[in-house]
Amino acid sequence: MRPVTASTSSALRSWTRHTLPTSATSSTSRFAAVAAATTASPSSSQRRLQSSESGASSFESPFQHAKYDTTKIPSFKNYASKSSEVSNRVFSYFLAGSMGLLAAAGAKATVQDFLVNMSASADVLAQAKVEIDLAAIPEGKNVIIKWRGKPVFIRHRTEDEIKQAESVKVESLRDPQADSDRVKKPEWLVMVGVCTHLGCVPIGEAGDFGGWFCPCHGSHYDISGRIRKGPAPLNLEIPVYDFPDDDKLVVG
């Protein structure tokens, strides 16, 4: 390599001095730029501080005021009705009466539905009363019908049977009862055909007294259905019946 001449080295030094600034001058220029930027626009922390100060000035804390008196009764004048006392009372009575009527109507419907559900069905009501044509029963004969699940004896008695039933001394009977108290018409005897001992069905025109006989335990009933012998304690039961016509009988 050829050596650099003196004129060339002096030219390089002068060029370097003008092109590259020194470290002192570069740091000074950097600080000046930062200071200019700081004065030109505020920092983000300064902006947040300014915004918090402006927000604090618009918000008022309720704890800065004086404490309220908790024992003082507040005023409800703003909620009071503007109408007169009489009109308010009438309105209150109207509402109370309307609610009472609605409650009564609901209770009536509930009770009515309950009673309808508890009442007897149509087939049971159909058996509540039984109508019999008496013209079809000859004198001296028995007829057995079904009423409410029980047998009912209907006897067309003869004159001799009527006299026999009426001639019995009531005092001598186990269950004292006159024949006239057991019949509405002397020729027609209507009884429930269930033995009063254990619920058996007695046999008609049998026994020691010409009436009914229960073969289960030997109870004897006379022509009026009164117990005369055996373990049965009571006479045969007389159901509710009526004669709407001379030849019609309604049991029940």
Catalytic residues: 217
Separation CA 68–CA 82 (nearest Å) = 29
> Given a cut of 90, is residue 96 above it in pLDDT?
yes
3-state secondary structure of 243: strand
Cβ density class 225-247: b for 16+ within 10 Å, e for less = bbbbebebeebbebeebeeeeee
Separation CA 167–CA 161 (nearest Å) = 10
What would you report as the CA-atom Rg of the chain, rounded to the nearest whole angstrom?
61
211, HSE (Cβ side, Cα atoms, 13 Å):
28
Of the two residues 7 and 107, the one the predictor is more confident about is: 107
Q: What is the pLDDT of residue 49?
A: 54
Q: Which amino acid is at 169?
A: K
Q: What is the pLDDT of residue 54?
A: 52
CATH 2.102.10.10 region(s) of the chain? 130-251
pLDDT grade, residue 34 (50/70/90)?
Answer: very low
Q: What is the pLDDT of residue 226?
A: 94
pLDDT, one tens digit per residue, over 4-30 is 455 555 655 655 555 444 444 444 555
Residues recorded for the chain: 252
Of the two residues 75 and 157, the one the predictor is more confident about is: 157
- Count of other CB atoms within 10 angstroms of residue 169: 7
Separation CA 56–CA 85 (nearest Å) = 50
Separation CA 251–CA 128 (nearest Å) = 8
> Given a cut of 50, is residue 1 above it in pLDDT?
no
Alpha-helical (H) ranges within the chain are 6-19, 23-40, 44-58, 85-118, 122-126, 159-166
Query: Is the pTM above the cut of 0.85?
Result: no
Separation CA 132–CA 248 (nearest Å) = 6
* Cα separation of the two ends of the chain: 154
Considering the four listed CATH numbers 2.102.10.10, 3.40.1360.10, 2.40.420.20, 1.50.10.10, the one that applies to the domain covering 130-251 is 2.102.10.10
Of the two residues 217 and 53, the one the predictor is more confident about is: 217
Mean pLDDT of the chain: 79
- Tokens describing residue 115: 């009673």
pLDDT, one tens digit per residue, over 158-197 is 999 999 999 999 999 999 999 999 999 999 999 999 999 9
Please tell me the least confidently modeled range out of 53-62, 124-133, 153-162, 190-199.
53-62
Please tell me the least confidently modeled range out of 97-101, 122-126, 185-189, 194-198.
122-126
Please tell me the least confidently modeled range out of 53-67, 73-87, 92-106.
53-67
Separation CA 252–CA 245 (nearest Å) = 15
